A and B are shown apart, each in its own frame.
Chain A
Amino acid sequence: MSWWLVIALAAGAYGFKALGLVVLGGRTLPDRTLRCLALIPAALVAALVVKDTFSVGQHLQLDARAAGVGVAVLAAWRRLPLIVVIVLGAGVTALVRAFG
C-alpha cells in the first residue's frame, strides 16, 4: 500500500480538525450545511456496510459474510457491546465459511 494515502489522509484529517477548532473558531455555519454534514457518516457508513458485505471488487456476491453481518445487525439492534457485535460478525462468517 502507498504511504501517500497515510500522509495525505493524515494531512487532510488534521486540516479539517484545525479548520474548525483553530481557524474558524466559534463561528456558526448555516443550519442546512450543518444538517448535511451531520448526515455524511450515516450515508457513507451504510454504503461501506453493503460494499463490504455484498461485493468482491466490482462484483456483487452473496456469501458467508452476509450471514455474519446479518447477525452483527441483530446484535447491534439488541444493543450488545461493540466487541460482541464484531466478534459475532466475524465468528458467524468463519463458521458459515467452514461448514456452509
Chain B
Amino acid sequence: MAAACVTLSVAVGVFAVSFGVGSVSAGASVTQTCAMSLLVFTGASQFSAMSVIGSGGSVGSALAGALLLAARNGVYGLSMARVLPGSLGMRLVAAQLTIDESTAMAASQRDPRLQRAAFWITGVSLYLCWNIGTLIGALAGSAIDPRAFGLDAAFPAGFVAMLWPTVRTLRGRLAAALGALICLSLIPFTPIGVPILCASLAMLVGLPAQRAAT
C-alpha cells in the first residue's frame, strides 16, 4: 500500500505541476493558483475552471462546470462515511481529502482499519504533493512563454489522461462521445463555457436500467 501510495503521489504531483503552469497561463496569479489547490483540492474541477477561464469564459460558466465535476466527491463521501467514523471535527477534515484517489485506495482494502489508514495516508500525501506541485508549476509557468513549449496543449493532454479511466465501460464511452459531440456542435453558437455545461446532459445515458454488463 505504501508503494502504491508513493507512486500515486508522484503522478499527482506531476499533474499538479501542469495545473500550475496552465492556471497562470490562463490568467490566474501564482497566489490564486495556489489558493485554488489548497482550498478546492479536486483536480478535475480545478482544471476545468481554469480551462474555461483561459478560453475567455465567464466566472459563472467556469464555476458551474467545475461544480458539476465536484459533485462526484459527494458520492465518494457517502461510501466513505462507513469507513470513517469519528468526531465531527475529524470528519470535517476528512471531507476535504475525499477525492478519487483516497476513495479508491480505501475501497481497495478489506479490513476497516486498513481502509481508514489507506484513506488518511493517501489523502494527506496527495494533499502535500498536489500543493507543492501546483506551486512549482505556477512559478515555472510565470517564468516561461507557455505557447513556445506547447503548454496550451498540456491541459487537453491532461484531460486525455483523466478521461481514460472513465471510458472503460460502454456507458462511459457513450457519455464521453456524446459529451464531446454536444460540446463541439455548440462552441460556435453559445457563450464560452456553456458547451461544457451542456455536455453534462450526456450523463443521462446512465438513466436506462443496466442490461448488458460491460
Report A-chain residues with C-beta under 8 Å of the C-beta of B180. Answer: 46-47, 49-50
Interface of A is mostly: helix
Which bracket fits the contact residues of A?
35 or more
Kindly state whether residue B211 has any CB partner on chain A within 8 Å.
Answer: no
The residues in B between 21 and 71 inclusive whose CB is less than 8 angstroms from any CB of A are: 26-29, 32, 35-36, 39-42, 44-49, 51, 53, 55-56, 59, 62-63, 65-71
Q: Are B80 and A9 in contact (CB under 8 A)?
A: no
Residues of A within 8 A of B164 (CB): 76-77
Interface residues of A in 71-100 (CB under 8 A from B): 72-73, 76-77, 81-83, 85-86, 88-95, 97
| Separation of A78 and B192 alpha carbons in the complex (Å) | 33
Distance between Cα atoms of A88 and B47 in the complex (Å): 19
Binding site for A on B (CB under 8 A): 11, 14-15, 18, 26-29, 32, 35-36, 39-42, 44-49, 51, 53, 55-56, 59, 62-63, 65-78, 80-82, 84, 88, 91-92, 94-96, 98, 147-164, 166-167, 171-173, 175-180, 182-184, 187-188, 190-192, 195-196, 199-207, 209-210
